[in-house]
Amino acid sequence: MSISRVSTETLSDSRGSETISVCLTTEDGIRGCASVPQGKSTGSFEAVSIPAGIAHEVITEVVAPALIGKSFPTQKEFDTCLMELDGTPQKEKLGANTILACSIAFARLSADEKNISLSDYLRSQYTGKIGEGVPYLFMNMINGGAHATNNLAIQEYMLALKANTIAEAYSLGVSVYEALGKKLGDVGIGDEGGYMPDFDDDSAPLRLYTEVLDEMGVTIPFAIDAAGNEIDRSNEELHALYVAMAKEFPLMYLEDPFREDQFDAFQKLQAVLPDTIVAGDDLTVTNIERSKTAKNNESVRGMIIKPNQIGSVSETLGMIAKAREWDWFVAVSHRSGETDDTFIADLAHAVGADAFKCGAPKQKERVVKYERLIELFK
């Protein structure tokens, strides 16, 4: 399977910012394409994404000449070729977005060449434990922090939806989202499709959730992404806030409660909240070495998986396998600036993720991912 053509273009993500797409074509005419998302609240230990215009030039002038005429028997060999071409620890030369777009495009191309689904192909490349059952849907229905223009310090207030099928969980999520909209009236929408009114305090969105769910007669646990890097408060103040939230509300999941370098603060919080999964995002950045530090410090019991934090399909699968080895909760996630690429839905299905985090059921870039997950879990 020799690559004969590499093409790229720039396009707009869900925030209207420029990002890139890549298509790889073989000499037999098989084609695989991919576009990559972008985060706004990003950790400093993430692999480096470069501006879309520069990425376009890098693909045309550096990556394409290195790939055309070459054959790659496995995903790992393809990804290794690009990482060696880059040659930097955080992919500063080619850009994690450049490498990931090519990596996902190659995965799609390989799946088509084998006449199997992308999910089946990813599972064939994955060596870790596969989770069982359907994942939670983490729907971010109230936005704050860097994803909104309201007064909330916390970035994401999510509902952790679970049912016998993804379709049932998604339908319930849509119903709750619509009920929230009716109660809130004419308010703005944040980066991930959630409502963004001002509130009296940072626990008020959870009280609103409780009110709406009680009126609907349903019980759904809560999940929070605090995005601690963006919050200008002391660890002591934040610790007290989270403990109070967990005492008052069914808080099953708490992501990035503190800044990305506060391993000990994470550990202290996890120790006093045994019924809440404290998880890393900026703390762990889909990176095995960072995650080993979190594991050794007993800082978390789970992590977010964002392929563009690390930059390739192979590294993403390797991180998930390691997380499973540690018995961590695994949540596959979108980014705040999304495209209509549905890769993460196939990834979540392939590895049996515990949760799928994809924002509110509002913007088309997120809805298509939910629809793909529904299709995969039929």
Active-site residue numbers? Answer: 192, 306
Residues 50/56, Cβ–Cβ less than 8 Å? no
- Three-state helix/strand/coil letters over the chain: CEEEEEEEEEEECCCCCEEEEEEEEECCCCEEEEECCECCCCCCCCCCCCCHHHHHHHHHHHHHHHHCCCECCCHHHHHHHHHHHHCCCCCCCCCHHHHHHHHHHHHHHHHHHHCCCHHHHHHHHCCCCCCCCCCEEEEEEEECHHHCCCCCCCCEEEEEECCCCHHHHHHHHHHHHHHHHHHHCCCCECCCCCECCCCCCCCHHHHHHHHHHHHHCCCCCEEEECCHHHCCCCHHHHHHHHHHHHHHCCEEEEECCCCCCCHHHHHHHHHHCCCCEEEECCCCCCCHHHHHHHHHCCCCCEEEECHHHHCCHHHHHHHHHHHHHCCCEEEEECCCECCCCCHHHHHHHHHCCCEEECCCCCCHHHHHHHHHHHHHCC
For residue 265, the tally of other CB atoms under 10 A from its CB is 19
Q: Which of 76, 198, 209 is nearest to 139 (CA)?
A: 209
Instruction: Give the residue among 182, 188, 140, 190 at the shortest CA–CA distance from 161.
Output: 140
